[in-house]
């Protein structure tokens, strides 16, 4: 038995429930291509999120690639380097040029005060990220986008279930993408979705995820294949029943972390944002070496010795990765660079016991110099 504690652990529904739900597939043999469960999950998610349209995709990355492609963008896209590489890859794979904007220290999302200075005549869109489920300043971003006639596509991979002013955070912008990867608060094993309003965009997305096929005789676009199959749609339907229950467990874990870490010199965590219902998807801390006594990398290594496997999400900064540092030129990413050297995400999943949370905090307390 593996007694290690990892940064997360997939949520799974009761075994019997999943088996019961997949049994009919042995009768129907209808395994994919927008089957019954695919349709059902789309409609359940619309209800759960309270949004107009949801288009399921095979994963969050393809959701972003497809959403960007469906917008027919060109030129430059302003985005954040403090994210998972998928965000930038999706931009570049659409033949667009990423222009990195620094983040704010408050919640680590894109710094809205620095967006306008990066806008040129080539800018066509902004791709902000609700990193860790911390929401971006959606109101300021909307103002900027209107002023310069830019599209806004939110990478909401971490933000399933997050609301702002009682409205799903995915309802903001021209579209938002979600990830339903095994490591996310809501999972379909692999999976994702685009949340959007425009029916025209929905038509494009459907074509893009299904080879451009409209019917047996009509193929009206150069599409890819990004469909979700029935097994994964069923996993989603099962997991969705438990997502609120899981969120309450995560909430307790987060409040325990906050209580136990409170007062440890040089360890900073993030409080709930105003008017936001969080989803407790990640628990990042920022280490101030001067006050804590040792640096982030040393804390990461020391915790490992005790079988606690934290993660350096998001280090290296995307702009410093091999595939981007040589091909693009960026400047003024001071905060993102600094945070990426000092951030550590602690284990967080619904089955993590409060006893273990206290143990992790005790270790963090003792390890500090």
287: left (phi over 0), alpha (psi -120 to 50) or beta: beta
From the list 162, 119, 110, 171, the residue with the least C-alpha distance to 137 is 110
Is residue 281 close enough to count as binding ligand T4K by CB under 6 A? no
Task: Specify the DSSP class assigned to residue 271.
Answer: P
Is residue 134 close enough to count as binding ligand T4K by CB under 6 A? no
Residue number with CB closer to ligand T4K (168 or 179):
179
Distances (CA, A) of 11 to 22, 56, 243: 18, 19, 9
Residue number with CB closer to ligand T4K (6 or 269):
6
* Omega within 30 of 0 (cis) for the link into 269: no
The contact mask relative to ligand T4K for 301-340 (x = CB under 6 A, - = no) is --------x-x-x---------------------------
Is residue 7 close enough to count as binding ligand T4K by CB under 6 A? yes
Work out which of 6, 18, 242, 328 binds ligand T4K, going by CB under 6 A: 6
Residue number with CB closer to ligand T4K (127 or 292):
127
Residue number with CB closer to ligand T4K (182 or 219):
182
Hey, is 334 helix, strand or coil? Answer: helix
| β-strand pairing of 192-196 with 53-57 | antiparallel
Is residue 98 close enough to count as binding ligand T4K by CB under 6 A? no
Work out which of 53, 86, 256, 350 binds ligand T4K, going by CB under 6 A: 86
Residue number with CB closer to ligand T4K (84 or 324):
84
Residue number with CB closer to ligand T4K (7 or 195):
7
Contact 100, 77 (CB under 8 A): no
Distances (CA, A) of 208 to 31, 61, 71, 203: 20, 14, 11, 9
- Whole-angstrom Cα distance, residue 319 to residue 11? 32
Q: Which residues of 231-264 are buried (b: 16+ CB within 10 A; e: fewer)?
A: bbbbbbbbbbebbeebbebbeebbebbeebbeeb
Is residue 61 close enough to count as binding ligand T4K by CB under 6 A? yes
Is residue 9 close enough to count as binding ligand T4K by CB under 6 A? yes
H or E stretch at 297: helix 296-305
> From the CB of 333, what's the least distance to ligand T4K, in Å?
17
Looking at 35-43, 109-117, 150-158, 283-291, which segment touches ligand T4K (CB under 6 A)? 150-158
Q: What angle do CA 175, 177, 179 make, to 5 degrees?
A: 170
- Size of residue set near ligand T4K by CB under 6 A: 24
Is residue 181 close enough to count as binding ligand T4K by CB under 6 A? yes
- Whole-angstrom Cα distance, residue 152 to residue 164? 17
Is residue 209 close enough to count as binding ligand T4K by CB under 6 A? no
184 tagged catalytic: yes
Q: What is the separation of C-alpha 235 from the centre of its chain, rounded to a whole number of angstroms? A: 19
* Omega within 30 of 0 (cis) for the link into 314: yes
Is residue 196 close enough to count as binding ligand T4K by CB under 6 A? no
> From the CB of 183, what's the least distance to ligand T4K, in Å?
4
Look-up: residue for tokens 């949520």? 11
- β-bridge partners, 311: 345
Residue number with CB closer to ligand T4K (284 or 292):
284
Is residue 129 close enough to count as binding ligand T4K by CB under 6 A? yes
Is residue 273 close enough to count as binding ligand T4K by CB under 6 A? no
Selected catalytic residue, list 184, 209, 241, 274: 184
Is residue 94 close enough to count as binding ligand T4K by CB under 6 A? no
> From the CB of 171, what's the least distance to ligand T4K, in Å?
18
Between the two ends of the chain, the Cα-to-Cα distance in Å is 33
- Contact residues toward ligand T4K (CB under 6 A) are 6-10, 59-61, 83-84, 86-87, 129, 155, 157-158, 179, 181-183, 192, 309, 311, 313
Residues marked active site are found at 184
């Amino acid at each position: 038995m593996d007694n290690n504690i990892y940064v997360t652990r997939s949520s799974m529904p009761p075994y019997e429930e999943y088996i019961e739900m997949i049994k009919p597939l042995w009768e129907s043999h209808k395994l994919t291509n927008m089957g019954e469960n695919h349709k059902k999950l789309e409609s359940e998610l619309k209800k759960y999120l309270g949004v107009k349209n949801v288009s399921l995709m095979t994963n969050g990355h393809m959701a972003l690639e497809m959403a960007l492609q469906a917008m027919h963008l060109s030129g430059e896209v302003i985005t954040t380097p403090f994210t998972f590489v998928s965000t930038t890859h999706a931009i570049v794979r659409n033949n667009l040029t990423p222009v990195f904007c620094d983040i704010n220290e408050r919640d680590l999302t894109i710094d809205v005060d620095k967006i306008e200075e990066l806008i040129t005549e080539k800018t066509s869109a902004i791709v902000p990220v609700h990193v860790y489920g911390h929401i971006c300043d959606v109101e300021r971003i909307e103002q900027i986008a209107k002023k310069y006639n830019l599209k806004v596509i939110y990478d909401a991979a971490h933000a399933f279930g997050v609301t702002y002013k009682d409205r799903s955070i995915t309802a903001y912008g021209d579209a938002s993408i979600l990830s339903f990867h095994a490591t996310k608060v809501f999972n379909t094993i692999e999976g994702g979705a685009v949340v959007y309003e425009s029916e025209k965009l929905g038509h494009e997305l459907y074509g893009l995820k299904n080879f451009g096929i409209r019917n047996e005789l009509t193929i009206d676009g150069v599409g890819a294949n990004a469909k979700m199959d029935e097994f994964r749609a069923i996993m989603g339907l099962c997991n969705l029943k438990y997502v609120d229950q899981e969120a309450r467990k995560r909430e307790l874990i987060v409040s325990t972390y906050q209580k136990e870490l409170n007062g440890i010199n040089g360890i900073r965590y993030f409080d709930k944002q105003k008017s936001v219902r969080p989803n407790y998807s990640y628990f990042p801390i920022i280490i101030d070496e001067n006050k804590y006594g040792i640096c982030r990398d040393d804390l990461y290594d020391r915790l490992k010795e005790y079988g606690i496997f934290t993660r350096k999400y998001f280090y290296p900064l995307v702009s410093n990765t091999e595939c981007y540092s040589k091909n693009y030129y960026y400047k003024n990413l001071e905060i993102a660079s600094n945070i990426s050297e000092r951030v550590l995400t602690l284990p967080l999943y619904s089955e993590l016991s409060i006893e273990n949370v206290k143990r992790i905090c005790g270790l963090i307390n003792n390890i500090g110099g």
